[in-house]
Chain A
Amino acid sequence: MTENVNPSSLASIAAGNANRAPGKNALGTGLEARSVHAWFGKNHALADVSLDFAAGTVTALIGPSGCGKSTFIRTLNRMHEFIPTAAMAGEVLLDGKDIYASGVDVTKIRLKIGMVFQKPNPFPSMTIGENVLSGLKLAQLKQNNKDELMEECLIRAGLWNEVKDRLGAHGGSLSGGQQQRLCIARSLAVNPQVLLMDEPCSALDPGSTLRIEETIRELSETMTVIIVTHNMQQAARISDYTAFFLADGHPGMMIETGPTSQIFSNPKDKRTENYVTGRFG
């Protein structure tokens, strides 16, 4: 999918993005992964990934399929452990505290580290409005001005104008792109510090993708965003930092990380250069 990308244009896109100051209003002090390993049964899927995500930044995780990006992002909010045979090692620090430490309430962790999935997955039995507020119900949180919160989340997700007249309609009645923005709005309602996005635009048309990218840029004012993407231009357009993952017959590893402009214009590792210039992957 990246064969015909002109690398210099990617670099220029990334350069235009570089002046952006990281969000100053972001909550918390970001997220740190310390030598994270992941296994599925005996298959060592991810080896020794250490990565810092500063508060209020957007980090893109790129790399060919099967390189462990999605696995990595799922270790960051403990969704990885839902797969029966899955195991992990290492530490993930949120505000300096390991989310895998014993005694940590995993539901509270997932409130602080939200997630948007590849496929839009609104709750079909709920209306649009109920979907937005579903996190409050699921996590049993109290909230007074629910209507305001609903409106605010839908505005931030760029969906308000399209659905404000039919908040009582079912979530499944929206288009794919709208459903994905509904899922983003739903994640925002519980006010996370970090938002993980696993290829959120891969099932969407360019118009919807553009809307979601705008949304991501706005969100990074107040939270830390980590996004897995196969789309190089997307990584160049929206991210402050980029990390390149590669499996290449071994367990997936992080090959290189740095400011997005540097990864796309002047990568240190030959493999990164090959990938971002479209020579493979």
Chain B
Amino acid sequence: MAREGLSFITGYEWYSSINSDGSTGEDPSVYGIGAMLIGTIITALIAVSIGVPISIAAALYLNFYVPTAIRGFLVGVIDLMAAFPSILFGLWGFNVLMPSGEYWAKLLHKYLGWIPLFDVSTPFFSRSPFIAGLVLAIMIIPIVTSIAREVFSQTPLDRIQAAYALGATKWTMIRAVVLPFGYSGVVGGAMLGLGRAMGETVAVFTVLNIIFQANFQILLGAGGNVASLIILKFGEASAEEIKALMAAGLILFLLTLLVNMLADLLVSRTVKQGR
């Protein structure tokens, strides 16, 4: 990491010139995780932007709409989903979600292709960051839903009653009372989800077509993230390359740390604004 300096973070190439028998090749080794960093952030953001709204809706449904008879069962299912091993999500995403995900990706491309984000330079839709993001979204939904549900259920009863006493419907009550109260907690939950999505290894490794280029076209089948890079290269890495992979892990750790600190800042600022 020290040798590559800043280009370790910004560089888009990963090439080890050390052969498996220990001899050094002709070209110098280049280690750059820029593409993977961007991929990490992109897939995680896709996951959060799809997963968090669904989680909030699910949490509100579980707290305020579901018949009490089946609430316990549904909560149990959500909690169980949070404990699924990620390889299952990865395999399921690869085998089940990919075909339908491709269909959605094509729709997005067809109708929203004028937005650079949804444009595709070559029509190759499978194993894209979009689908990886979908899988990650499904992975983080249980944990974010659990947190949001917990936060929403703490809403003070006297405020809920005050809203109803003013002629509120359930939905206007939720908007005026529950969402403002739960805002900071939900942001915290979303950040936890973001952290989990960024650190996710196996699911992304299974789904994504890992390619070393900075890819902002989220529907195109190319990308990767830092954790999947490590698992991809670790098995056959030379001593020097392992050092580089460790450094990549450190960067990932710093990134998650940064995200959590930002979340903390955001939450404490909203709390101060008066609750």
Task: Give chain A nearest CB distance to B70 CB in angstroms.
Answer: 15
Cβ contact within 8 Å between B167 and A111: yes
What is the total number of residues of chain A having a CB less than 8 Å from a CB of chain B? 31
B274 touches which of A79, A82, A124 (Cβ 8 Å): A124
B165 at interface by CB-CB < 8 Å: yes
Contact pattern, B 177-207, Cβ under 8 Å of A = 1, otherwise 0: 1001100000000000000000000000000
Contact pattern, B 241-274, Cβ under 8 Å of A = 1, otherwise 0: 0000000000000000000000000000000011
Q: How far is the CA of A123 from the CA of B175 in the complex (A)?
A: 12
Given A110-B167, A190-B167 in contact, is the A137-B162 Cβ separation under 8 Å? no
A117 at interface by CB-CB < 8 Å: yes
Cβ contact within 8 Å between B167 and A137: no
A173 contacts across to B, CB distance below 8 A: 274
B233 at interface by CB-CB < 8 Å: no
A186 contacts across to B, CB distance below 8 A: 162, 166
Contact pattern, B 150-165, Cβ under 8 Å of A = 1, otherwise 0: 0000001011011111
A 33-83 contacts with B by CB, 8 A: 77, 79, 82
Query: Which residue of chain A has the shortest Cβ distance to B166 in the bound complex?
Result: A135
Q: How many contacts A-B (CB < 8 Å)?
A: 81
Cβ contact within 8 Å between A79 and B161: yes
A175 at interface by CB-CB < 8 Å: no
Cβ contact within 8 Å between A139 and B166: yes
Interface majority SS (helix, strand, loop, mixed), chain A: mixed
Q: How far is the CA of A194 from the CA of B68 in the complex (A)?
A: 33
A170 at interface by CB-CB < 8 Å: yes
A123 contacts across to B, CB distance below 8 A: 159, 162-163, 176-177, 180
Task: Give chain B nearest CB distance to A116 CB in angstroms.
Answer: 8
- Can you name 21 A-B residue pairings with CB atoms under 8 Å? A107-B168, A107-B169, A114-B165, A115-B165, A117-B161, A117-B162, A122-B162, A123-B180, A125-B181, A125-B274, A134-B166, A135-B167, A137-B176, A138-B172, A138-B173, A139-B166, A139-B172, A140-B172, A170-B274, A172-B274, A190-B166
Using A111-B166, A124-B159, A138-B166 as known contacts, list a sample of 19 further A-B pairs with CB atoms less than 8 Å apart, ordered by residue number in A. A77-B165, A82-B164, A107-B168, A107-B169, A110-B165, A115-B165, A117-B162, A121-B158, A122-B162, A123-B159, A125-B181, A137-B176, A138-B168, A138-B176, A139-B166, A139-B167, A172-B274, A173-B274, A190-B167
